[in-house]
């Protein structure tokens, strides 16, 4: 502050020096403009450092767009304790499921932009919902601030053991033999799991019924109870149930097989062109100071690259990322456009 004030005083003194001659005044003004600029830059740097050093001043709430048990929840609970250590304040996980994940995003837009309220999203509420909901109360490219995409994962097509299909080809044949009699669960309308199911339905040219739930956890529970036939789930949520025999995996949604489960074929091996990835990212309210955004990005990118964290993420089928806010925003814009094309091709109604 003293530096800013001193620069301003020197500028006023320079203006008063006009009676010493035009050349002297011009030289003096140029020097003082430079001094003022340098002082201003120093002050800005000081404010940035001050913002970083004083943040956070109380516990940080990290909302999750879905109920406990889903991949975004697992990711948040893996990253949260390490972020607590890095920030020196408790990071509290707050599950706010509902409306296909859009409830939590709406709550984020209403929070104070001070870095004490964050969101761990699961993608669908950020890049799919804008294409499906005409009255969405937020614009994900303008009303929230992306901090970092923690990681991305393939999904896996799983069925209840009572379903006779043993492969993707079998599942398609079964659906064609019984049009409208099979159903698939999702984490909610507009979620990545929903659109993954719709893309499967469209490319396979089959008639299956969508059953939305309030999150991946409830959808998985209902599938294991035999209340629904099929689900395209994050591998991180389903793999333990697959190993235990509670679910049967038919294929993964990427363009190549998972290194951790090479025996599982890709859906694209049966349906060329099929590809869906799910990702998990951290966001803050619009207007959050750049110093806080940068601090959070720096801490998150460091956390996801720690061997013990990256290995645990990989075991869940999640590839660690930790990209920058600008890179994350560019990905969001590109995926909104891409999902718009999928939704148009599938002729899904816009609410």
Whole-number pLDDT of residue 129: 93
Indicate the range of 71-75, 93-97, 247-251 predicted with least confidence. 71-75
Whole-number pLDDT of residue 8: 37
- In angstroms, the CA 332 to CA 145 distance is 11
8 Å CB contact between 208 and 230: yes
Query: pLDDT of 261-309, one tens digit each?
Result: 899 999 999 999 999 998 999 999 999 999 999 999 999 999 999 999 9
Q: Looking at the predicted structure, is the pLDDT value of residue 328 above 50?
A: yes
Whole-number pLDDT of residue 24: 52
Whole-number pLDDT of residue 71: 84
Query: pLDDT of 159-196, one tens digit each?
Result: 999 999 999 999 999 999 999 999 999 988 888 899 99
Region 133-152 average pLDDT = 95
220 phi and psi, to 5 degrees?
A: -65, -40
Show Cβ contacts of residue 229 under 8 Å, excluding neighbours closer than 6 positions.
159, 160, 163, 182, 183, 184, 208, 223
Q: Which of 113, 268, 132, 106 is nearest to 189 (CA)?
A: 132
CA 135 to chain CA centroid, nearest Å: 21
What are the CA-CA distances from residue 171 to residues 35, 51, 227, 232 (Å)? 73, 55, 17, 13
Query: pLDDT of 51-70, one tens digit each?
Result: 556 899 999 999 999 889 88
8 Å CB contact between 122 and 186: no
**pLDDT class for 350, splitting at 50, 70, 90?**
confident
Whole-number pLDDT of residue 52: 56
8 Å CB contact between 119 and 62: yes
8 Å CB contact between 184 and 230: yes
What are the CA-CA distances from residue 36 to residues 4, 7, 30, 91, 287 (Å)? 7, 5, 10, 41, 27
Indicate the range of 9-13, 36-40, 132-136, 149-153 predicted with least confidence. 9-13
Please, what is the end-to-end C-alpha distance for the chain in angstroms?
52
Residue bearing tokens 């993964």: 252
- In angstroms, the CA 120 to CA 64 distance is 5
């Amino acid at each position: 502050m003293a530096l800013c004030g001193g620069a301003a005083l020197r500028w006023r003194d320079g203006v008063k020096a006009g009676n010493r001659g035009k050349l002297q005044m011009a030289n003096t003004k140029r020097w003082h403009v430079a001094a003022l600029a340098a002082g201003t830059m120093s002050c800005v740097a000081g404010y940035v450092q001050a913002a970083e050093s004083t943040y956070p001043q109380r516990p940080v709430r990290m909302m999750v767009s879905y109920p406990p048990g889903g991949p975004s929840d697992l990711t948040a609970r893996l990253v949260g304790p390490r972020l607590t250590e890095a920030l020196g304040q408790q990071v509290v996980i707050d599950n706010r499921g509902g409306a296909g994940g859009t409830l939590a995003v709406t709550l984020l837009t209403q929070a104070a932009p001070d870095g004490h309220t964050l969101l761990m999203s699961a993608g669908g509420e950020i890049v799919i919902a804008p294409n499906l909901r005409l009255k969405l109360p937020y614009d994900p490219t303008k009303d929230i601030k992306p901090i970092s995409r923690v990681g991305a994962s393939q999904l896996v097509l799983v069925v209840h053991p009572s379903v006779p299909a043993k492969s993707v080809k079998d599942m398609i044949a079964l659906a064609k033999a019984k049009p409208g009699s099979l159903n698939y669960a999702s984490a909610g309308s507009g979620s990545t799991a929903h659109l993954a199911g719709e893309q499967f339905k469209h490319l396979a040219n089959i008639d299956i019924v969508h059953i939305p739930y309030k999150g991946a956890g409830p959808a998985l529970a209902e599938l294991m109870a035999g209340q629904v036939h099929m689900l395209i789930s994050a591998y991180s949520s389903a793999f333990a149930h697959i190993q235990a025999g509670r679910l049967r995996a038919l294929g993964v949604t990427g363009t190549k097989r998972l290194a951790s489960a090479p025996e599982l074929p890709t859906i694209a091996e049966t349906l060329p062109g099929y590809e869906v990835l799910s990702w998990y990212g951290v966001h803050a309210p619009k207007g959050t100071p750049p110093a806080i955004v940068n601090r959070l990005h720096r801490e998150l990118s460091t956390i996801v690259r720690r061997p013990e964290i990256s290995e645990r993420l990989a075991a869940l089928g999640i590839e660690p990322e930790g990209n920058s806010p600008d890179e994350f925003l560019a990905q969001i814009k590109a995926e909104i456009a891409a999902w718009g094309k999928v939704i148009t091709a599938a002729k899904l109604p816009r609410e």
